[in-house]
């Protein structure tokens, strides 16, 4: 039997560009809702991510 553990999104840090190339930044809040953030928060989160992120290894079985 396969393990029942699942991956879930805990943090998210994204940017969306409008038709003029202006960025709007978003993150997940403590309730898992997408909220707008500042450019400074966006850069800080990516800095943290670059120091602590680990690749996820997995295999697919049919």
- Is residue 1 scored above 60 in pLDDT? no
Give pLDDT tens digits for 18-29.
999 999 999 998
Report the pLDDT value the prediction gives residue 18, as an integer from 0 to 100: 96
Number of Cβ within a 10 Å radius of residue 37: 19
Collapsing DSSP to helix, strand or coil, 46 comes out as: helix
Which residue, among 33, 32, 34, has the nearest Cα to 10 in the 3D structure?
32
Read off the pTM: 0.65
Give pLDDT tens digits for 5-51.
777 777 788 999 999 999 999 999 888 899 999 999 999 988 988 89
Q: Which residues pair with 15 in a beta bridge?
A: 25
């Amino acid at each position: 039997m396969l393990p029942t553990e699942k991956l879930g999104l805990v943090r998210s840090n994204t940017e969306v560009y409008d038709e003029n190339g202006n960025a709007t930044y978003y993150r997940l809040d403590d309730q898992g809702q997408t909220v707008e953030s500042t450019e400074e928060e966006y850069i800080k989160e990516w800095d943290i991510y670059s120091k602590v992120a680990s690749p996820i290894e997995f295999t697919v079985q049919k």
